[in-house]
């Protein structure tokens, strides 16, 4: 009898059709994202799950799914999944690393440039009809911060962090980095986190969200940042203390921020960052290009196909389950 696999969203790419030939596949057709209560109902009796980062897979859910044999997420981050609980049950968890590295690094750089040069603020100014003869080109008009020649501090020198470092080299930036694991990357100076924060004109966050990185940039660390610095976060909400960041921006200690990810998503309307003109915000679109999303979906499908065939997933975050 064919195994049952539930897919929590319609996916792009070609391999998802191939997956349907290997199992009895049920896909959530919307509208919108799958509500968490529906996830539990839909998953009952399923052997496999193909999910998005918006689906929370926790212990309580797993306890109700004795048949579950694998989870394949269309994301590189797996902080929405209790990987430890799955590992304890011997269940492999797949993710989609590699293919979204350049796309996400581009987003980080887009936010860095937009924050430095006040692009979103200037766009609103023009559209709001404020660009008048009385309020136009002048020596101080919409002046921002130079990127070329500035110092960039990368927090988390994984794949995306290194791709951001390559972009920074093209802008003639001096690149500093802090990472849990020391690495030798040409053109990058590794430093302790506090020293990086003190020396960087721009700080870009690229660590995974884990218990050890939750609130990594808390109020005390934000207070250590160089006066007038710019903070960019395309990693995960929860790594940067949003309240402390908002206070540093409102008080003028930091000059701007670019934020793609929030502690709560979709972001709450009363999030203090949304009230600040010097914050550029995007709705978690780091990997959002058509090609990259198709590539991610193809890897998620390939992980599921391998699991159904009793093979190791090509991209697995807990390979220890294979012994
Ligand atoms: P990666 O190559 O696996 O790098 C992960 C980074 O996180 C490394 O620097 C790693 O440190 C660090 N890290 C992981 N666990 C840690 C821990 N417990 N304590 C301290 N550091 C830890 O992943 P990547 O492809 O660069 O992606 C990085 C993150 O970006 C993802 O986890 C995801 O959350 C986020 N992301 C966001 C978007 C978006 O749409 N905004 C898109 C893609 C990715 P070491 O390797 O030095 O040990």
Ligand 1 pocket residue status of 108, Cβ below 6 Å: no
Q: Say how many Å lie between the CA of residue 129 and the centre of ligand 1.
A: 41
Tokens in use for 264?
A: 């709560």
Same structural domain, 19 and 152: no
Tokens in use for 47?
A: 């052997």
Region of residue 137 (phi > 0: left; psi between -120 and 50: alpha; otherwise: beta) = beta
DSSP H/E element including 23: none
Ligand 1 pocket residue status of 234, Cβ below 6 Å: yes
Kindly give, in sequence order, each residue whose CB lies less than 8 Å from that of residue 200, ignoring residues fewer than 6 positions away.
Answer: 151, 152, 153, 176, 225, 226, 229
Q: Say how many Å lie between the CA of residue 90 and the centre of ligand 1.
A: 24
Ligand 1 pocket residue status of 113, Cβ below 6 Å: no
CATH number at residue 226: 3.40.50.720
**C-alpha of 134 from chain center:** 42
Q: What is the pLDDT of residues 84-95, one digit of tens each?
A: 999 999 999 999
Same structural domain, 204 and 122: yes
Helical H segments across 139-190, by residue range? 159-170
Ligand 1 pocket residue status of 95, Cβ below 6 Å: no
Q: Say how many Å lie between the CA of residue 58 and the centre of ligand 1.
A: 20
Ligand 1 pocket residue status of 77, Cβ below 6 Å: yes
The SS3 assignment for 79 reads: coil
Q: Which residues are catalytic?
A: 236, 265, 284
Q: What is the DSSP letter of 107?
A: H
First to last CA, the chain: 27
Instruction: Flag whether pLDDT at 12 surpasses 90.
Output: yes
The predicted pLDDT at position 68 comes to 98
Same structural domain, 255 and 294: no
**C-alpha of 243 from chain center:** 19
Distance CA 119, CA 113 (A): 8
Same structural domain, 246 and 301: no
Q: What is the largest CA-CA distance in the chain?
A: 75
The backbone torsions φ and ψ at residue 70, rounded to the nearest 5 degrees and listed phi first, read: -160, 155
Ligand 1 probe mutation, 78, 156, 165, 205, most atoms within 8 A of CB: 156
Which among 56, 73, 58 is positioned nearest to 307, based on CA atoms?
Answer: 73
pLDDT-based confidence at residue 192 (cuts at 50, 70, 90)? very high
Q: What percentage of the chain has pLDDT greater than the value 70?
A: 100
Ligand 1 probe mutation, 109, 157, 207, most atoms within 8 A of CB: 207
pLDDT-based confidence at residue 187 (cuts at 50, 70, 90)? very high
The tally of domains found in the chain comes to 2
Tokens in use for 135?
A: 């309020």
Residue with CA nearest ligand 1 atom 39: 286
pLDDT-based confidence at residue 323 (cuts at 50, 70, 90)? confident
Same structural domain, 80 and 206: no
How confident is the model over 237-251, as a mean pLDDT? 98
Same structural domain, 34 and 149: no
Tokens in use for 283?
A: 């709705």
Which among 267, 265, 230, 264 is positioned nearest to 245, based on CA atoms?
Answer: 230
Kindly give, in sequence order, each residue whose CB lies less than 8 Å from that of residue 238, ignoring residues fewer than 6 positions away.
Answer: 79, 209, 214, 215, 263
Same structural domain, 133 and 165: yes
Same structural domain, 95 and 106: no
Burial of 290 (0-12, 13-18, 19+ CB in 10 A): exposed
How confident is the model over 15-30, as a mean pLDDT? 96
Ligand 1 pocket residue status of 207, Cβ below 6 Å: yes
Structural domain range at position 136: 101-281
pLDDT-based confidence at residue 1 (cuts at 50, 70, 90)? confident
Same structural domain, 93 and 106: no
Same structural domain, 265 and 138: yes
CB of 233 closer than 8 Å to CB of 103? no
Instruction: Flag whether pLDDT at 47 surpasses 90.
Output: yes
The predicted pLDDT at position 191 comes to 97
Instruction: Flag whether pLDDT at 106 surpasses 90.
Output: yes
Same structural domain, 171 and 318: no
Same structural domain, 174 and 252: yes
DSSP H/E element including 55: none
The SS3 assignment for 258 reads: strand
Q: What is the pLDDT of residues 50-65, one digit of tens each?
A: 999 999 999 999 999 9
Which atom belonging to ligand 1 lies closest to the Cα atom of 207? 7
Q: What is the pLDDT of residues 138-172, one digit of tens each?
A: 999 999 999 999 999 999 999 999 999 999 999 99
E strand segments, the chain: 4-7, 24-27, 48-51, 70-73, 93-94, 151-155, 174-178, 188-190, 202-205, 229-233, 254-259, 279-281
Q: Say how many Å lie between the CA of residue 158 and the centre of ligand 1.
A: 6
Distance CA 152, CA 39 (A): 41
């Amino acid at each position: 009898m064919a195994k049952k696999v539930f897919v929590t969203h319609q996916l792009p790419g070609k391999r998802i059709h191939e997956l349907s030939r290997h199992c009895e596949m049920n896909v959530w057709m919307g509208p919108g994202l799958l509500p968490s209560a529906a996830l539990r109902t839909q998953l009952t009796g399923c052997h496999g799950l193909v999910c998005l980062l918006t689906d929370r897979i926790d212990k309580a859910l797993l306890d109700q799914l004795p048949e579950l044999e694998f989870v394949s997420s269309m994301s590189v981050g797996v902080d929405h999944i209790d990987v430890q609980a799955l590992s304890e049950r011997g269940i492999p968890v797949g993710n989609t690393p590699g293919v979204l590295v350049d796309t996400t690094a581009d987003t980080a750089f887009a936010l860095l440039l937009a924050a430095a040069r006040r692009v979103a603020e200037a766009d609103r100014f023009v559209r709001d009809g404020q660009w008048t003869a009385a309020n136009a080109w002048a020596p101080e008009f919409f002046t921002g911060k130079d990127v070329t020649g500035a110092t960039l501090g990368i927090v988390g020198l994984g794949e995306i962090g290194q791709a951001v470092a390559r972009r920074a080299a093209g802008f003639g930036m001096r690149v500093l980095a802090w990472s849990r694991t020391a690495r030798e990357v040409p053109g990058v100076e590794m430093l302790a986190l506090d020293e990086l924060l003190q020396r960087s004109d721009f700080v870009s966050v690229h660590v995974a969200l884990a218990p050890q990185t939750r609130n990594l940039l808390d109020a005390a660390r934000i207070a250590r940042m160089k006066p007038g610095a710019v903070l960019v976060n395309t990693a995960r909400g929860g790594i940067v203390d949003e309240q402390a960041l908002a206070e540093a921006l409102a008080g003028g200690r930091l000059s701007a921020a670019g934020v793609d990810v929030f502690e709560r998503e979709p972001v709450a309307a009363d999030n203090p960052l949304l009230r600040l003109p010097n914050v550029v915000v995007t709705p978690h679109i780091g990997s959002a290009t058509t090609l990259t999303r198709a590539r991610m979906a193809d890897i998620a499908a390939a992980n599921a196909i391998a699991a159904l065939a009793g093979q190791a997933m090509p991209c697995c975050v807990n390979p220890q389950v294979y012994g």
